[in-house]
Chains A and B, each alone.
Chain A
Amino acid sequence: MSSTSRIRRDRPLEARLRRGRETAVHGILFLCAFISVFTTVAIIATLLQETVGFFQEVSIIDFLTGTAWFPGAGQFGILPLLSGTLLVAAGAAIIALPVGLATAIFLSEYAPAWLRGVVKPVLEILAGIPTVVLGFFALTFLSREIVQTLFPDAKLFNAASASIAVGIMIIPMVSSLSADAMSAVPRSLREGAFALGATKFEVARRVVVPAALSGIVASFILAISRAIGETMIVTLAAGATPNLTWDPLESVQTMTAYIVQVSLGDTAQGSLEFKTIFAVGMSLFLLTLAMNVASQFLLQRFREVYE
């Protein structure tokens, strides 16, 4: 003890400086982390403030059950925007979920290491393609060359081509998250099944996929949530017609595309029509938040832990 007290006596200033610096660093780093909480609070406050203003003028029941969306004519039923959003997301899911799952099974069960080393970076590049580029692709290639060739009566702006492009966008998300979940399944489970004479398909279907199911379903939910929040592809390719339809060859408008349309136009800020984007944004935020929370809950609650 005597030696430590001598050190303290010899360099009290330095020791105090050091302790002060440690405290300051700790505080600054905490602030950095706390900015994320601030962001969430700010998002909710922003959306809530204008949404409350909107619902003082429009009944929330009309908003949630109305089947016509013509803000200019005082009709504020979100169902056409919601159906447009869900139509595009459902189409994207039909494409991306099976393809993403097949890719994940291929990567984790079949592909040799060198092939994984090629396929994974390619999928990462796909994941990094800006959505405005996919929107251009949807409009100039998918719509004109594929959808309109197969279905000549399809509109140039149609839900189908936007769906395909959004599906392409979320394939890497499904495949990488599902593949991660499958790689976490221990080798011994697979080897046990192989030892009983199972084929690779049987091992994948009866052992690996069930063991990784919570991760796979979580990746599905996250990907659909991404599809619902996607903006530029649907703005460019799905059209601008709030249309209560389930026909993918029709032009529709999603919630996100509506928000873009209003902010591009010359709607006066503070007007009721401008407030609509916050009500729609709030609906979008709550919808995606619910899905993200569900996916995290699945991951934490049902994760099989092998140690």
Chain B
Amino acid sequence: MRAPEASFRRRLFARKVTAMGFAVLCLLGTSVGIVALALLLIDVTQEGIGRVGWDFINSFPSRRPEDAGIKAALWGTIWMISITAAFAIPIGVGAAIYLEEYAPRNWMTRVIQTNISNLAGVPSIVYGMLGLTLFVRAMELDRSVLAGSLTLALLVLPIVIVASQEALRAVPNSIREAAYAVGASRWQVVSRQVVPVALPGILTGIILALSRAIGETAPLIMIGALLFVPFTPSGPLDRFTVLPIQIFNWSSRPQPEFQENAAAGIIVLMVVLLSMNAVAIFLRNRFQSGPQV
């Protein structure tokens, strides 16, 4: 074998080994995230599964860890998420419809669009400071469910808007043109043709936004959601707590029994979130091929 050929073969071998090594490295990298998720779920389940039961779900918090439960937090979360949805969904979808279907291409539209991407990156605790000043103090809503929900509605608005915009953008123009051609007005085109086609995408975005809101803790601590609440809210102006705050409260106590309660609370929270995630993934896969025209 001649020398150049031998060196070529050697280099080819080295390149193939490098390529193989790199593939293994990428596979390992990918597994890091998955292993971390698995460890987390196993750790939480091991610590908390023994506490999960009807008594835990249906009891108020208590100074004695074995009697404590998440009734107040669970109802607070349900209240909070309903009000958040009532504000964030119409405003978010409306904003997306405006930006995709109505907005002229001018500086104002660009300002709004840039602004939305920037808002998506604002730390959630800053929203909490906004909520404290604007809703709790200036609008005198006090530390109520309503104040918390409005804060979270502002927080998740960019998520709803961006996801809805993407869904609307994916609707083929031929649908709009056909509707205009038979004399529909712009609102008729949007409300009867475009939005129904984009609905699965919009719904996916809404679910993701709401699951983000359910898991948020910091902004609600800022606006002063209570750490110890032995009652369920009976109206939007009542004081409240939510599951993540209850989990935070228990996690930050040194006693292992309270840590166990925290883990049990996390299990309940994760079951809610994973079911929402599953619905979102199902919706997306079901309609992923997009509108067939």
Which residues of chain A have a CB within 8 Å of any CB of chain B?
Answer: 18, 21-22, 25-26, 28-37, 39-40, 42-43, 46-47, 49-50, 98-103, 105-107, 109-111, 119, 121-126, 128-137, 139-141, 168, 171-172, 175, 199-202, 204-205, 222, 225-226, 228-232, 235-236, 256, 259-260, 263-264, 277-278, 281, 284-285, 288-289, 291-293, 296
Contact = CB atoms under 8 A, between A and B. Distances in A.
Nearest to B120: A292
Given A100-B29, A229-B122, A296-B114, 7 more contacts: A26-B98, A46-B134, A133-B44, A135-B251, A285-B122, A288-B121, A289-B118
B36 A168 contact: yes
Interface string B155-172: 001100100000000000
A134 B30 contact: no
Nearest to A28: B94
Interface residues of B, number: 88
B215 A37 contact: no
B47 interface: yes
A97 to B, nearest CB: 11
Contacts of A36: 95, 112, 115-116, 119, 157-158, 161
11 contacts: A31-B94, A32-B95, A102-B30, A110-B27, A119-B30, A122-B34, A136-B263, A232-B248, A278-B129, A285-B122, A292-B121
B57 interface: no
A284 B122 CA distance: 9
A199 B92 CA distance: 46
Interface string B213-225: 0111110011010
Given A99-B33, A260-B125, A25 B218 contact: no
B63 to A, nearest CB: 18
A134 to B, nearest CB: 7
A30 B186 CA distance: 14
Nearest to A278: B129
Contacts of A226: 121
B36 A126 contact: yes
A229 B94 contact: no
Contacts, number: 264
B180 interface: no
Interface of B: 15-16, 18-19, 21-23, 25-30, 32-34, 36-37, 39-40, 43-44, 47, 90-92, 94-95, 97-99, 102-103, 111-112, 114-119, 121-130, 132-134, 154, 157-158, 161, 185-187, 208, 211-212, 214-218, 221-222, 224, 227, 244, 247-248, 251-252, 259, 262-263, 266, 269-270, 273-274, 277, 281
A37 B26 contact: no
Given A39-B157, A133-B266, A128 B18 contact: no
Given A22-B185, A132-B217, A139-B251, A29 B222 contact: no
In the complex, which of the residues A22, A107, A130 has the most CB atoms of chain B within 10 Å of its own CB atom? A130
A200 B40 contact: no
Nearest to B87: A35
A168 B29 CA distance: 12
A37 B112 contact: yes
A235 B273 CA distance: 22
B17 to A, nearest CB: 10
A288 B187 contact: no
A136 B262 contact: yes
Contacts of B218: 131, 231-232, 235, 256, 260
A106 B129 contact: no
Given A199-B16, A200-B22, A204-B22, A124 B121 contact: no
Nearest to B158: A36
Nearest to A46: B133
A306 to B, nearest CB: 19
